């Protein structure tokens, strides 16, 4: 029995930022792939293992499949989410066809049990690394995930497949998980999926494109379904939310079809908004990566991350509760963040989310809990009207 169960009639959804199990992490796992890199300063993925060890001490190798998740495993057991959603920011391939872009991520398909050990229900592939090894690498990624039973969204063999949601049955309804990416996150225009060509679901962040996406969701969504739109957008650093992102997210929420906008790409958590009773995460920060030992941008504390547990009404998708489990990446493993670091994260999120009427406080349990002001035509307590049956 979980120590912190959701209320009856509530669906608990876990979300996080970028999960990068490639490059150095791939080398630390049981089945390291080819370590070759074509980066300016590092020619082997083993260089990232050495950087991390120089920063924080030895990394036991090979790591067991579940080892990178560390303290997150305890948080998942305690909070028992109904659905777990992530952005998988790496190609899963043995392909050697490097795309010329400076930084290329890949993990050996034989290491996919490490992803599966998280209990993930679906991953977004709409990001700026899934095609790091070209269409051949993407096709191998799709095949490897399918062979392991991992649902995915946001990339596909055709545009129709890239646009299709990952569908997770839960209770009497479903979670529909859509994934899109923007060029402002570093996704080349040439990576867009075509009617007969593989690629990602690439979107312009305009009200018009948001309305088109909402119409597509409306055509697929049934009564009792909760729709989550996962968005890879924006720069890696800084807390500012670009106005096009905010307008796009608002349009999705205001459509009444989308319960959660799940933003990522930033290397650290960004502001959070609750609009019309629904959750907008503008940037979840990295969740797992091999960046230890890389210097620069220390003021953002990118080693600190969070697990986002959103309790939403199972009928309407309205947000009832938002809890964050603060984590720290250390030696390619997630640890519970110490008290002072968790307090810093809560204070930073409160400062940056103040514009949106959202605050955060660390509780005695160690979790960070959100509070928000009700604003907009429908507030969080009232929720939204259930979708009427289609006739």
The domains of the chain are located at 10-372
pLDDT of 249 > 70? The answer is yes
For the segment 126-150, the average pLDDT, to the nearest whole number, is 98
Q: What is the pLDDT of residues 313-334, one digit of tens each?
A: 999 999 999 999 999 999 999 9
E strand segments, 93-165: 106-107, 122-124, 151-153, 155-156
The phi and psi torsions of 37 (rounded to 5 degrees) equal -125, 160
Whole-number pLDDT of residue 374: 78
Q: What is the dihedral of CA 285, 291, 296, 298, to 10 degrees?
A: 50
Confidence of residue 382 (pLDDT cuts 50, 70, 90): very low
pLDDT value of residue 6: 83
- Split at pLDDT 50, 70, 90, the class of 377 is very low
**Residue closest to 111 by CA, chosen among 161, 61, 42:** 61
* The pTM of the whole model exceeds 0.85: yes
Q: For the chain, what is the mean pLDDT? A: 94
**What pLDDT does 380 receive?**
36
**pLDDT tens, residue by residue, 344-367:** 999 999 999 999 999 999 999 999
pLDDT 10s digits, 126-135: 999 999 999 9
pLDDT tens-place string over residues 252-305: 999 999 999 999 999 999 999 999 999 999 999 999 999 999 999 999 999 999
Per-residue pLDDT, averaged over 37-41, amounts to 95
Q: Confidence band (pLDDT; 50, 70, 90) for 1?
A: very low
Given pLDDT bands bounded at 50, 70 and 90, which one contains residue 383?
Answer: very low
pLDDT confidence of residue 2: 60
- Residue 375 has what pLDDT? 59
Q: How far apart are CA 33 and CA 26, in angstroms?
A: 7
Compute the distance between CA of residue 328 and CA of residue 340 in angstroms, rounded to an integer.
12
Residue 391 predicted with pLDDT over 60? no
- pLDDT of 177 > 90? The answer is yes
Whether 388 shows a pLDDT value over 50: the answer reads: no
- Residue 378 reports pLDDT greater than 70: no
Residue 234: both structure tokens together: 């924006």
- Asked if pLDDT for residue 59 goes beyond 70, the answer is yes
* Number of helices followed by number of strands (H, E) in the chain: 9, 19
Q: Return d(Cα 341, Cα 18) in angstroms, integer.
A: 20
Is the pLDDT confidence value at 194 over 70? yes
The whole-number pLDDT of residue 357 equals 97
Predicted local distance difference test score (pLDDT) of residue 381: 35
Q: Convert the pLDDT of each residue in 60-79 to its tens digit.
A: 999 999 999 999 999 999 99
Q: Is the pLDDT of residue 385 over 70?
A: no
CATH number of the structural domain 10-372: 3.60.21.10
Q: What is the CA radius of gyration of the chain?
A: 20
Predicted confidence (pLDDT) at residue 197 exceeds the cutoff of 80:
yes
Tens digits of residue pLDDT in 202-242: 999 999 999 999 999 999 999 999 999 999 999 999 999 99
The pLDDT score that the predictor gives to residue 72 is 98
Q: What is the pLDDT of residues 101-128, one digit of tens each?
A: 999 999 999 999 999 999 999 999 999 9
Task: List Cβ<8 Å contacts ≥24 apart for 31-34.
Answer: 31/108, 31/110, 31/111, 32/62, 32/108, 32/111, 33/94, 33/106, 33/107, 33/108, 33/110, 33/111, 34/94, 34/96
SS3 content of the chain, % helix, strand, coil (to 5): 30, 30, 45
């Amino acid at each position: 029995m979980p120590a912190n169960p959701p209320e009856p009639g509530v669906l608990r959804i876990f979300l996080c930022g970028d999960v990068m199990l490639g490059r150095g992490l791939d080398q630390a796992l049981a089945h390291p792939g080819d370590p070759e890199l074509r980066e300016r300063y590092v020619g082997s993925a083993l260089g990232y293992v050495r950087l991390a060890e120089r920063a924080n001490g030895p990394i036991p190798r090979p790591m067991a499949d579940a080892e990178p998740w560390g303290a997150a495993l305890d948080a998942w057991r305690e909070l028992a989410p109904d659905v777990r959603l992530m952005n998988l920011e790496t190609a899963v391939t043995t392909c050697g066809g490097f795309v010329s872009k400076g930084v290329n991520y890949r993990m050996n398909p034989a290491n996919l049990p490490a992803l599966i050990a998280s209990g993930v229900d679906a991953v977004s592939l709409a990001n700026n690394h899934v095609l790091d090894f070209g269409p051949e690498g993407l096709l191998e990624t799709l095949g490897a995930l399918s062979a392991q039973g991992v649902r995915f969204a946001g990339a596909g063999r055709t545009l129709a497949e890239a646009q299709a949601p990952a569908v997770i049955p839960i209770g009497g309804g479903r979670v529909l998980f859509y994934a899109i990416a923007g060029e402002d996150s570093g996704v080349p225009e040439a990576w867009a999926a075509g009617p007969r060509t593989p690629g990602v679901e690439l979107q312009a962040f305009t009200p018009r494109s948001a309305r088109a996406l909402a119409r597509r969701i409306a055509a697929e969504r049934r009564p009792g379904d909760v729709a989550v739109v996962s968005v890879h957008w924006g720069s890696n650093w800084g807390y500012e939310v670009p106005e096009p992102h905010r307008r796009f997210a608002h349009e999705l929420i205001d459509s009444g079809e989308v319960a959660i906008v799940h933003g990522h790409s930033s290397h650290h958590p960004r502001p959070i908004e609750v609009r019309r009773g629904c959750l907008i995460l503008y940037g979840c920060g990295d969740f797992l990566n091999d960046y230890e030992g890389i210097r620069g941008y220390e003021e953002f504390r990118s080693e600190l991350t969070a697990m986002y547990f959103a309790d939403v009404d199972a009928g309407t998708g309205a947000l009832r509760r938002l809890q964050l489990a603060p984590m720290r990446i250390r030696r390619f493993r997630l640890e519970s963040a110490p008290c002072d670091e968790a307090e810093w994260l809560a204070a930073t999120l409160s400062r940056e989310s103040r514009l949106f009427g959202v605050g955060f406080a660390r509780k005695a349990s160690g979790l960070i809990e959100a509070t928000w002001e009700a604003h907009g035509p429908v507030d969080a307590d009232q929720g939204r009207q259930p979708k009427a049956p289609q006739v």
